[in-house]
Structure 1
Amino acid sequence: MTTRNRASLSALLLLITVLLGALVSACTADNSGGNTSTTNTSPGGAPRKAPTRKPGPLANQPLEAQAALLGSPLSPGSQLTLTFNLAFDDDALNAFVTQLYTPGSASFHQFLTPEQLVQRFAMPDAQTKQIQAWLTQQGYTQISTDPLHSSIKAQATVQTIQTSLGTQLYTFSLLNQQFYMQNKDPHLPSSIESYIQTIAGLNNLALPDIKPPRQSTHIQQLGQESDCTKYGAKQTLTQQKLAAAYQVDQLYKKDLQGQGTTIGIAEFGDPYDINDVQNYIACTGQSMPSIQNIDVGTPLPPGTGEGEATMDVELIAGLAPKASILVYQTQLQDANNPISQVTSFAQGMLDVFNRVASDHKVQVLSVSYGLGEEMFSTSDQIAINNSLRNLAAEGISVFISSGDCGAYSLRARFPQIAEVSFPGSAPYAISVGGTYLQVGDDLQRSSETVWGGDDGTPVCQNSWGSGGGVSQNSAFTRPGWQAGDGVTTSYNGTTQGVFVRTLPPQTLQAPNGLRQVPDIAAAAYPNISIYYDSAWVRSGGTSAAAPIAAAGTALVDQGLRQSGKSPLGGIPEFYRLANKAGSNQPYTDITQGDNLFYPATKGWDYTTGWGSPNFATILSMES
């Protein structure tokens, strides 16, 4: 090649380079200095800007922590793991989910895959790497982004965290519980602040009380035989009775037992003994289903646990005997050692919900855990609700127990502070309340009322009844789909001295323009036969109601799939069923009983929502 040809070629390459550079600059220029990534696109295929955070706290203190006593500063060398929850395109995603559950819309039940969720609404790679780079510069280690681009987890010393976020971490004590918390809201540099919605892990006040209601005196009465002679003794509810009460047995007649369906169970700090499950299943006369444990974060040590996980797995395995069951397990910090590497409850929920969404293997998810809203920071509640929104966008039904302390999920009634349980109060949860179900040996339902009872104790031991009421989180406005007969019934706590936690305390008002719970209900009174720790026991709680609802819905989804229909999906569908019922009865309306404040009424109410599901009817309405 001659020198002239080489020079001409060089000039041509230079011209092409300049033109390409100009084209790239034109495509990437924006008001934030060129941070738009082309790896994420709008539905039309055009590059879109990175989403930015919505107004709200980055990481605030739980309201309940205001009563805590300040302790000593955390050791600067202690290691903590933080979760930086990334901004999503909230406006676009909220609008999409609304259309997703609006019959007649072009997007109706066009559920997303995880890849579509990331491509259309999540943080692009460029901004994610920018945040990771800043964390590295500050001294954080073990930095990882989850597959949904919903959060970045990173580990650092307390000193690094305090310096990088401009806050201080202290120990606190509240009601004999030790926890840590920041002394003021953190802040981030302007270069990344707009890309991070919230930070989780700066407090660990919330710690679930893993103890479903059961009466230990019944253990001896029901016996410890493993040969099934005591299964169903003392009129306890067996798998057959539960199936008959909620029309699950009618689905069995259609050969709908969960074949080809996968059900998820979330367990936070509570293991189970597979031998207990095997014995329970053997006594139902069924074959053992496929059960797989999935460790999320720190593996959970084996053991019999407190009975929560055992009940969850047994009820789902019994009611959906041919479904595959995935048990998502994560270990939480020890209440006696709150300053540890093990995750907080809020972080554990984020980890599990994001893992379920990115795995995209289950059709339904059962969650039997919760605490009063005020035990969580507003920022953590927002982050967890956003994770539940992602699951709704994927068409995954998430059933969460509404709590076992009636209208008082803070567990104390003097003074009477009404409180709902979170995450059941999250707008994208399907909150499941509790009933007192009685079924005869002829498998006929004899009665079903609200599960509720006053045991006279000042502190709840998970036996006061069905959780329900109104959220006090101003971010949880009542969704448009929460409508129908009974939803606007008013209650005033003046005559009974019932308040909400404000300074000064304000009388409870319902409705208050915010999320109302529960949505539906199922058996919860502790008369359900469970095999736990090598013994037959009576157990229950809304911890039982959630897996019952999840199992029945999984069979409905199986029937819908066989008819070429999409699954039920998220919470709006359950209100649509109620409001289009006509002569159908998708739910058995519970009209008797109360949860220590709210009474059961016709239609929707604050004790059992729409009532208990009739799954065969629901399938016929949707087919």
Structure 2
Amino acid sequence: MRVNSRRNRTAVVVTCCLAGLFGGGIGVAQASPPGVIMPGSVADAVTSAGPAVGDVPPAQSLTVQLWLKGNETAATAFADAVSNPKSVSFHKYLSPSAYTAKFGVSAARASAVSSWLSQQGFTDIKPDPQRSYIQATAPTSTVQNAFHVQMKQFRVAGQSNPVSSNDRDITLPASIAGDVIGVSGLDNIRPKTALATVKPTAAQIRAKADNCSNYYGQNVQTGLPAIDGNTSFPTYICGYNGSQLRAAYGMADANTGTGVTVAYIEIGTPYKMFQTLTKWAAAGGLPSPKPQNYSELSLGAGNACGNGFDIEEQLDIESSYAMAPDQHQLLVGADSCNTQTGGVQGLFDAENAVLDGDGSRPLASATSNSWGLGPDGVPVTLVNVMHSILLRAAGEGVGMYFASGDRPGVDVPSSDPYATAVGGTTLGLDAKTNRLFETGWSDDVHIVNGDGTYTDRGIGAAAGGGASLLWKEPDYQRKVVPDSMTSPGAGNQSPGPSRVVPDIGALADPTTGMAVATTEPGKNGGADTYTVFPVGGTSLSTPLVAGIVAAADQGQPASSGFINPLLYSLAGSSALADPLPITSATPAAYQGVYVPKNEAVPEVPPTVWTFDDQDTASTNQVTAAGYDTMTGVGTPNGQSFITALRKH
């Protein structure tokens, strides 16, 4: 989830999580076949698409994954124990193989599922190394008979070509239904874009030429129409560099993340990432990266079908590097050609690759995830799959940091109780990198009209957050999250108080964002193009937090793992800084920024972005003293935060 702009693109762009295009339900009432129906195993986009426009050819090959159910009750109890600083089991994690032996589906039950698939005519049947799922391939006709569905083609909103999908929820025989939490791979409904893109105002950013500021308040635009009596606003930030961000979060020279590996989950891999990082670090006053501290793991066909996370990858690596320049950064690039399960199957594969590791240890102590599956209403299959992945991660000591989103509302999987949801802030730093102010990220965009008036376009972008429709309030949030924030309203599927996101926050506002660098190959054999431009979004805040935790894990006997129980025990302490709301008492200079007109895009007018919009009718989120639904318990407070993590 990111907000970006390049000089050659000239527009602020919010790129968020993978589009939430999925939902449950059965499109057409019909007689139930014998067996157990798996609710939520047909895409919402299909149930609302209208009649099918064709059949999937019966001989067309399909590869599916049957995700297996282990002992979730025992796994949950273990995850809670190893994550609770008051437990004798705190930080006593299991290896991937030991976790499978203790909580995974048994080899016998996995064999039973494999045998059923073989009996149905599936081939190339193989389990994931830790028996998280069993993958198998068969012609469409076989798939239809096995799951009691018809594979059809549908015209789906936002898709230029017909998509393929099962036409109803699948049915499994009772003999194996209890071993399966979901089936993926039946549809090829891609997200509307590889990353959901929103242009809230198409406001422009042109680097230095448009009078942007290197620090907050460096340049000021006067003579503007009045907003709450204010006719002058600072210009937006050109993008803080690595040293500015490192100073903003109080990262001492000794805290570099030495010996700690963090995995960055992407789709595809970036062009010349290490060379780009080297130039970016030097320009920002950071040490040069070491070649042995950066590696890539490309899965499947890699970039063969494009690089859907371009810019996202650079943002993740660069921002986290600023917080922990000696960490080992492992970029895991999912198969860009894998269109299964709405394009997210590759992301599941990437997470599993980290957690499976070599059997004796996972590949990293944390993953940074700037993607999501969409709002709480995604199909139960996807919710179940991600929950099983998150439980395993907690048991193995792998922290799972997920962006909370770049729009009002609650997304999956950041809302899962075993994910650490990272929200966002607006941050003003002065010329000496002192904090002038920090507040929740929620910008109201005002277009400056030629007649000396404004047109209020409403919320341009905001950190995601609020109460989940799916998950009940976890123990670690009780007595910390105000009762007034724990009710999601209509549609709540979990009686009583709900899980609330985010858990923690960091810089996300694009108008006070980070300067990101990318390298693009030259055209027709020409020289590469190196470009720097400002970026924001919870895609920025998430790797920032992951990097800070990596620095805290340096030299420790065990990783921080699933951090939430410890994190909430620190609420209100000096370990956390508390972003506060913008009020009438806030200095006028800290209430918003001016983004000038870009002559290269004449249709885009100048705008003023005012901070911390508290219109709860449109955001469902607030900034408040203590816990709030844009920044969680607060932002990491330098050495106090690191010391607090290390002492437990």
CA–CA distance in structure 2, aligned partners of residues 483 and 554 of structure 1: 27
In the alignment, the residues of structure 2 paired with residue 447 and residue 233 of structure 1 have an alpha-carbon distance, to the nearest angstrom, of: 15
- Determine the structure 2 residue equivalent to 1:361: 363
Corresponding residue number in structure 2 for 1:259: 258
Task: Tell me, in whole angstroms, the C-alpha distance in 2 between the residues paired with 1:77 and 1:617.
Answer: 62
Residue 572 of structure 1 corresponds to which residue in structure 2? 564
Deviations 1:89-120 (A, max 9, x none): 01111111122223343322211111210111
1:68 aligns with 2:49: yes
Give CA-to-partner distance per residue, 1:279-329, whole Å, 9 cap, x none: 212323421232211123332247695411111111122322111111111
Q: Which residue of 1 aligns with 2:295?
A: 292
Q: Residue 245 of structure 1 aligns with which residue?
A: 248
Q: 1:618 to 1:601 in 2, by over 3 A?
A: same
Higher mean alpha-carbon deviation, 151-160 vs 66-75, is at 66-75
Per-residue deviation, 1:426:
1.9
In structure 2, relative to structure 1, the CA distance for the partners of 1:379 and 1:159 (3 Å cut) is: same
Q: Which of 434, 439, 448 matches 2:424? A: 434
Give 1:364 shift: 1.5
State how far apart, in whole Å, the 1-side matches of 2:188 and 2:482 are.
34
Letter in 2 for 1:376: V
The residue that corresponds to 2:516 in the other structure is: 530
CA distance in 2, matches of 1:262, 1:439: 30
8 Å CA contact retained: 1:261, 1:554: yes
1:175 aligns with 2:178: no
Deviation at 1:514, TM superposition (A): 2.9
**Residues 374 and 170 of structure 1: CA distance in aligned 2, closer, same or farther (over 3 Å):** farther
Is the aligned partner of 1:221 residue 2:208?
yes
Paired position in structure 2 for 1:472: 469
Instruction: Provide the residue aligned with 1:109 in structure 2.
Output: 91
Q: Which amino acid aligns with 2:256?
A: Q
User: Any residues of structure 2 matched to 1:287-366 within 5 Å, and which?
Assistant: 287-289=288-290, 290-301=293-304, 306-333=310-337, 344-359=342-357, 360-366=362-368
SS in 2 for 1:481: helix
Q: What letter matches 1:67 in structure 2?
A: S
> Where does residue 486 of structure 1 map in the other structure?
481
Confirm or deny: 8 A CA contact 2:505 2:541 kept in the other structure.
Answer: yes
Range moving further from structure 2, 108-117 or 138-147? 138-147
Shift of the 272–611 alpha-carbon distance from structure 1 to 2, 3 Å rule, reads farther
1:119 is aligned to 2:101: yes
C-alpha distance in structure 2 between counterparts of 1:304 and 1:100, whole Å: 36
Distance 1:142 1:195 in 2: 20
Distance 1:341 1:510 in 2: 32
Residue 210 (structure 1) aligned with residue 195 (structure 2): yes
Correspondence list, 1:440-455, <5 A: 440-455=430-445
> 2:585 maps to what in 1?
none
**In structure 2, distance between residues paired with 1:540 and 1:140:** 46
* TM-score for both structures, normalised by structure 2: 0.73
Aligned pair count reads: 518
Q: What is the deviation of 1:345? A: 3.3
Counterparts of 2:401 and 2:209, CA distance in 1: 30
* CA-CA distance at 1:597 after TM superposition: 2.9
One-letter amino acid of the counterpart of residue 564, structure 2: P
Q: Which amino acid aligns with 1:429?
A: A
TM-score by length of 1: 0.76
Q: Give the Cα separation in 2 of the matches to 1:514 and 1:62.
A: 25
Cα shift at 1:463: 4.8
RMSD: 3.2
Preserved CA contact (<8 Å) 1:588 1:614: no
Deviations 1:215-245 (A, max 9, x none): 784245369xxxxxxxx99552111121112
| Displacement after TM superposition at 1:82 (Å) | 1.2
- Give 2:104's aligned amino acid: A
Query: Displacement of 1:213 after TM fit?
Result: 7.9
Is 1:212–1:308's contact at 8 Å kept on the other side of the alignment? no
SS at match of 2:63: strand
Report what 1:542 is aligned to: 538
Contact 2:189 2:340 in 1 (8 A): no
1:608 aligns with 2:631: yes
State how far apart, in whole Å, the 1-side matches of 2:123 and 2:464 are: 41
Any idea what the Cα deviations from partners look like across 1:420-446, whole Å, max 9, x if unmatched? 122212221111111111212201111
Alpha-carbon distance, 1:192 to partner? 2.2
How far has the Cα of 1:448 moved from its partner?
A: 1.0
Work out whether residues 131 and 192 of structure 1, in 8 Å CA contact, stay in contact via their aligned partners in 2.
yes
Residue 170 of structure 1 aligns to a residue whose secondary structure is: strand
Larger Cα-atom Rg: 1
SS state at 1:549 partner: helix
Which segments of 5 or more consecutive residues in structure 2 lack a partner in the other structure? 1-35, 211-234, 448-456, 520-529, 583-611
Letter in structure 1 aligned against 2:167: N
Alpha carbons of structure 1 residues 397 and 598: separation in structure 2 relative to 1, 3 Å:
same
- Taking a change above 3 Å as real, the CA distance of residues 140 and 167 of structure 1, as seen in their structure-2 partners, is same
Which aligned pairs between 1:400-411 and structure 2 lie closer than 5 A?
400-407=402-409
Matched, 1:268 2:253: no
Residue 332 of structure 1, CA deviation: 4.0
The 5-angstrom pairing of residues 10-49 of structure 1 reads none
**Taking structure 1 as reference, are residues 64 and 247 closer, same or farther at Cα in structure 2, changes over 3 Å only?**
farther
Contact 1:262–1:325 at 8 Å: present in 2 too?
Answer: yes
- Residues 128-207 of structure 1 aligned to structure 2 (within 5 Å): 128-177=110-159, 179-205=163-189, 207=191
Secondary structure, aligned partner of 2:497: coil
In 2, Cα distance between the equivalents of 1:192 and 1:611? 45
- Give the letter aligned to residue 489 of structure 1: S
Given that 1:406 and 1:468 are in contact with CA atoms closer than 8 Å, whether structure 2 keeps it comes out as yes
Q: Report the identity percentage.
A: 26
Shift in alpha-carbon separation, 1:95–1:521, aligned structure 2, 3 A: same
Counterpart amino acid of residue 390 in structure 1:
R
Deviates more, 1:300-309 or 1:124-133: 300-309
Find the aligned partners of 1:193 and 1:304 in 2 and give their Cα distance: 35
More helix by proportion, 1 or 2? 1
d(CA) in 2 for partners of 1:58 and 1:261? Answer: 41
Specify the alignment match of 1:278 in structure 2. 278
Of structures 1 and 2, the one with the larger relative CO (CA 8 A, separation 6+) is 2
